[in-house]
Chain A
Amino acid sequence: MIASLSLILLCQLIGEIAVRGLGLPVPGPVIGLLLLLILLLARDRFAPLARGPLQGDGVEGASRGLLAHLSLLVVPAGVGVVQQLDLLTQHGVAILAILAVSVVVTLLVTVATFLVASRLLTRSDPP
């Protein structure tokens, strides 16, 4: 458990260092995600890597535990926003309406694009 968490933190730490050091336009944890993915893939290829958190269900179990409570993790930032709702007083209704319409449009356009692209792709595949 501790070793698995350490591995996750280590990936994030390297990600943050890479982002700051190289001035990449990506959040550090996203680089950490890529690193952990590469480690997991490399483990299947090279047996000596499969030890500590990378064996059994180590890092997998810890990650599933974190992701099961993803909703909890966004609460503190959300509470900060509740305290700033007065920012909305001036143009509040207009902004709420704009965001709501934009959300619906974005969801529908994205889902439609995904489905159309995936259907075109399967059709162009040789039978």
Chain B
Amino acid sequence: MSENPFALWVYLSQSPLLWLTVTLLTYAIADAVSLATHRHPLANPVLHSMWIIGAFLLLTGTSYTTYFGGAQFVHFLLGPATVALAVPLYENRKVVVAAIVPMLVALVVGSVTAIVSVVLLAEAFGLPRGVILSPAPKSVTAGVAMGISESLHADPSLTAVAVVLTGIMAAIIVTPLMNRAGITDFRARGFAVGIAAHGIGTARAFQVDAMAGVFAGIAMSLNALVTSLLVPLAVTLLVR
């Protein structure tokens, strides 16, 4: 028995067990709500887990480093999950090979649009140079985007914020937007969200349609490559 509840809290809050449990439990609830609402875009489990856990950390005065001590076990699985994308790719190889040309064209056009639109808009809004550069690689997965940001001497933390906000916004907006535009080709829908919104968009695509998920996964992987090559070029051409 612990006589001092505070001592128990101090012990638990430093152990990975508590934060791993908080992450899984919060997500399990957010995911159950998302299922109950038939995967409504606004019930996005990533969005709601993020702010609930974030608020909990804030209220308990827990640092992100302490939290990550537990959450890293979940975070680590992102790498293996990327490798696992090989399986749906393999299972749908006929459809994928048949769509290789539209994919490559959409990859280049989409990647350029993602970078150029954000840089031009930021310039139009008159934001300072450091702030213009940071969100340029926002459409690729956070690890790659932060690397690009560092090489441009921009602010990697601001880049990470832009990456996650982009992912969440795209995951919420993609289904109503595509339905409104009357687009029923799930290959194209998935590919677009993979280009625009990396892993968060791909996770959303897998919720909506298996084929959309496959194409989103391919788009995400290819875009990581293309964006690392294009951002430095775009910045040289566009930013004065």
Contacts and interface: CB of A to CB of B under 8 A. Distances in A.
Contacts of B166: 99, 102-103
B225 A81 contact: no
Contact of B57 (A41, A75, A83, A118): A83
Contacts of A64: 84, 87-88
Given A76-B75, A111-B178, A111-B181, A99 B162 contact: yes
Interface residues of A, number: 71
A89 to B, nearest CB: 11
A66 B80 contact: yes
B229 A25 contact: yes
B23 A75 contact: yes
Nearest to B126: A94
A91 to B, nearest CB: 6
A68 B206 contact: yes
B17 interface: no
Given A75-B71, A99-B118, A99-B135, A91 B127 contact: yes
Tell which of B50, B72, B167, B187 has the most Cβ of chain A within 10 Å.
Answer: B50
A46 interface: no
Contacts of B141: 27
B149 interface: no
B102 A118 contact: yes
B235 interface: no
Given A67-B88, A74-B200, A107 B173 contact: yes
Contacts of B152: none
Nearest to B84: A63
Contact of A104 (B177, B189, B199): B177
Contacts of A98: 118, 121-122, 125, 135
Interface in A4-48: 5, 8-9, 11-12, 15, 25-30, 32-37, 40-41
Contacts of A97: 125
A101 B5 CA distance: 49
B64 A12 contact: no
Nearest to B178: A111
Q: How large is the interface on B (under 10, 10 to 19, 20 to 34, 35 or more residues)?
A: 35 or more
Nearest to B50: A78
B33 interface: no
A111 B77 CA distance: 29
B192 to A, nearest CB: 4
Contacts of B204: 71
A72 interface: yes
B96 to A, nearest CB: 10
B54 A83 contact: yes
Nearest to B162: A99
Interface of A: 5, 8-9, 11-12, 15, 25-30, 32-37, 40-41, 59-60, 62-64, 66-68, 70-85, 87-88, 91, 94-111, 113-115, 117-118, 121
Interface of B: 23-24, 26-27, 31, 45-46, 49-51, 53-55, 57-58, 64, 67-68, 71-72, 74-75, 77-91, 93, 99, 101-103, 105-106, 109-110, 113-114, 117-118, 121-122, 125, 127, 131, 135, 138-139, 141-144, 155, 157-158, 160-170, 173-174, 177-178, 181, 183, 185, 187-189, 191-193, 195-197, 199-200, 202-204, 206-207, 213, 219, 221, 224-225, 228-229
